Structure 1
Amino acid sequence: MNQPQNVTDYPNNNTIFMVWRFKDDADVKSVFEKLCSLVENMNRSYAIRVVNGRTSCVMGIGYAAWIKLGLPMPLPKELKDFEPITGSKHTAIASPGDLHFHLRGMDMGICFDMASDIAHVLCPVADCTQEVHGFRYWDGRSILGFVDGTENPIGEERPLFALVGDEDPAYAGGSYLFVQKYLHNMKNWESLPTEEQEKVIGRYKMSDIEMPDEVKPTNSHSALAGIEDEAGNDLKIIRDNMPFGHPSKGEVGTYFIAYSKNFSTVQEMLTRMFIGNPPGNYDRILDFSTPQTEHTIFRANDQYAAAIFSGT
């Protein structure tokens, strides 16, 4: 694959997220080859045409799609259908999905054109179950008013945490993609004083500085979403979250998207959030943010993708 899918790039100003499901008995293999060629072409073309636009299309392939398309075995080690995580009050639901597209660009027109080209290829054999148009909100904040993704790895750390390595050599360079569509209850959220909102997040709102451990509540988002390995080293994921909304409908939310070298890191974060640590001490942000969809999808690594694009 000459132009790789850029998982480790930073969030752009505009994004379109799409989830597609194959239709029953559709001839998906021949269409999938055309789709792979299209993704490669778009990434190469926009890199030349919009030099500083940081335009990219990342395609993820789900477990069921991998089987249906007859892609190589064994599977990526941690590729699986997401199973619901049920806590004492909140549940991380599971939603089916075969392909996921993450389209980024400085100009929404570029994202729109990429989405249109993908839809033209896929519509005969698949249905789009989610299409979310995200945008950068002020200085990278979510609609809740707090900066999103402050703990993201930066620089050389990004591929270290995002891309599969020697632990699964056949898929080295690939990445596990997990997405959640959250809707926020803004009426309840905005009824909280700023000081209470900060306790929910675990950071100060204006400065974006994390609260000291002796002050930060144990059920705050930053306390539960931050995890370490047995040696005390931080385990990170790349978040490319984007706000979305329809103000006239009173619908606003966050499209959470994570890239990681392994899904187990994401799984542990979600477990701590929904089950709690200890159990029952769940992430308080869930009292104001309800997940609508959950998907686990693997992005093919660039070396393997080259074989897909060539039809071999």
Structure 2
Amino acid sequence: MVAAPSASDPSSAGRVPIAPQQVDSPLTRSAIFLVLTITDRDGAVEAVKEVIGGIEDLVKTVGFRDLPAQLSCTVGIGAGVWSQLTGMPAPAELHPFKEVRGAVHTAVSTPGDLLFHIRCDRQDMCFEFERLLLESLGDAVATVDETAGFRYFDARDLLGFIDGTANPIGPDLPASTLVGEEDPEFAGGSYVVIQKYLHSLSAWQSLPTEQQEAIIGRRKADDLEMADAEHGQKAHKTLATITDDAGEHDILRDNMPFGSPAAGEFGTYFIGYSRHLWVTEKMLERMFIGDPPGLHDRILDFSQPRTGCVFFAPSADLLSGLAD
């Protein structure tokens, strides 16, 4: 578990470090992305508060069966229910997912009050955790989407490219993912954006490898970064790189492939954790509208988003306090 940026800030000397949730959980072989809404039944909000406030106890109960399997669950709360669940004003940047409509493709906005990002090296433990979680929540919630992801070979997506190479590491990780002194009431929290992409795999596979590499901006075999185009169409890796006068702004991705060959479904579940929501939103704007406008990310010609939600993953301290 990483330390919040404020923990190393000289102005925070003498304070008790804020414990974030495990947004930086190590890459695992399996994951479940569970998006729920809260129902209007009497007592639903209080029931949800009790369950998510005690989520670490459930992680310990299930995870103790195989500690090396590294079971974790990160909880995200949407803008629509934030005040009901926490009784607090919203974090500075929290709002519902904003649809991004380009000339050709649209990043859609879909419902979601709660996100449970369940990760483990064992699929059966992800399954058992989700089963017990939903049993605890009962009819206080309704399921919007449940997607089971898997690690594909050497961390590749179903398009055949290694995914997540640009993730921050070392001290850059908490600096990129955890809110700090700029919003002290919510320090140690993280903004989370999720999108469920479905791939036109046969169309993608019909492209020569050289064209695929030009679209992604990396070599397929060894993942080496290719030179940026000086003019015209930019590669995916370039459009997803956000820089300003302060330098480059990173996010943490823990994307997972998912699918069903029998159903002809092949996809990537995008999940990005960031200290500043505007960074991820700027990435999506550049992808869907283009930079310059009109030259959208060509990966979207083969990968279409079916969902889009924004959540805030509060610190572990704030989350556990909801049960009190």
Fold conserved between structures, TM > 0.5: yes
User: Quick one: structure 1 residues 139 and 35, their matched pair in 2 at CA, closer, same or farther if it must change by over 3 Å?
Assistant: same
> What amino acid maps onto 1:250 in structure 2?
G
Q: Which residue is 1:179 aligned to?
A: 194
* Contact 1:199–1:217 (Cα < 8 Å) also in 2: no
Which of 304, 307, 313 is the matching residue for 1:290?
A: 304
- State the 1:211 CA deviation: 0.5
Q: Which residue is 2:238 aligned to?
A: 223
Q: Which residue is 1:35 aligned to?
A: 51
* Contact 1:81–1:295 (Cα < 8 Å) also in 2: yes
- State the 1:147 CA deviation: 0.2
Question: Alpha-carbon deviations, 1:84-138, whole Å to 9, x = none?
Answer: 1100100000001000000000111110011001111223111111000000000
Q: Which residue is 2:67 aligned to?
A: 51
- State the 1:40 CA deviation: 1.6
CA distance in 2, matches of 1:106, 1:303: 26
Q: Which residue is 1:141 aligned to?
A: 156
* Contact 1:5–1:43 (Cα < 8 Å) also in 2: no
Aligned 1:94-243 pairs, distance under 5 A: 94-214=109-229, 218-231=233-246, 233-243=247-257
CA distance in 2, matches of 1:250, 1:302: 39
Task: Tell me the secondary structure at the aligned position of residue 123 of structure 1.
Answer: helix
CA distance in 2, matches of 1:49, 1:156: 32
CA distance in 2, matches of 1:214, 1:63: 38
Alignment RMSD (CA, Å): 1.9
* Contact 1:218–1:224 (Cα < 8 Å) also in 2: no
Q: Which residue is 2:107 aligned to?
A: 92
Between stretches 5-14 and 193-202, larger displacement belongs to 5-14
* Contact 2:35–2:112 (Cα < 8 Å) also in 1: yes
* Contact 1:12–1:104 (Cα < 8 Å) also in 2: yes
> What amino acid maps onto 1:202 in structure 2?
G
Task: Tell me the secondary structure at the aligned position of residue 155 of structure 1.
Answer: coil
Unaligned runs of 5+ in 1: none
TM-score, normalised via structure 1 length:
0.94
Question: Alpha-carbon deviations, 1:114-172, whole Å to 9, x = none?
Answer: 10011112231111110000000000000000000110011222111111101100000
Q: Which residue is 1:266 aligned to?
A: 280
CA distance in 1, matches of 2:244, 2:232: 21
CA distance in 2, matches of 1:213, 1:294: 28
Q: Which residue is 1:23 aligned to?
A: 39
Instruction: Tell me the matched-pair count.
Output: 308
Question: Alpha-carbon deviations, 1:247-288, whole Å to 9, x = none?
Answer: 001101000000001101101001000111111111100000
> What amino acid maps onto 1:254 in structure 2?
T
> What amino acid maps onto 2:258 in structure 1?
F
User: Quick one: structure 1 residues 277 and 106, their matched pair in 2 at CA, closer, same or farther if it must change by over 3 Å?
Assistant: same
- State the 1:224 CA deviation: 0.4
- State the 1:223 CA deviation: 1.2
User: Quick one: structure 1 residues 4 and 67, their matched pair in 2 at CA, closer, same or farther if it must change by over 3 Å?
Assistant: closer
CA distance in 1, matches of 2:40, 2:181: 37
CA distance in 2, matches of 1:209, 1:26: 55
Question: Alpha-carbon deviations, 1:178-210, whole Å to 9, x = none?
Answer: 100000001110110101110110111001001
> What amino acid maps onto 2:227 in structure 1?
P
Between stretches 71-80 and 287-296, larger displacement belongs to 71-80
Residues 1:248 and 2:262 aligned together: yes
Between stretches 99-108 and 154-163, larger displacement belongs to 154-163
* Contact 1:20–1:98 (Cα < 8 Å) also in 2: yes
CA distance in 1, matches of 2:117, 2:153: 21
CA distance in 1, matches of 2:198, 2:106: 14
Task: Tell me the secondary structure at the aligned position of residue 50 of structure 1.
Answer: helix
CA distance in 1, matches of 2:53, 2:230: 52
CA distance in 2, matches of 1:214, 1:220: 8
Q: Which residue is 2:81 aligned to?
A: 65
> What amino acid maps onto 2:70 in structure 1?
R
Q: Which residue is 2:28 aligned to?
A: 12
CA distance in 2, matches of 1:34, 1:73: 16
User: Quick one: structure 1 residues 126 and 214, their matched pair in 2 at CA, closer, same or farther if it must change by over 3 Å?
Assistant: closer
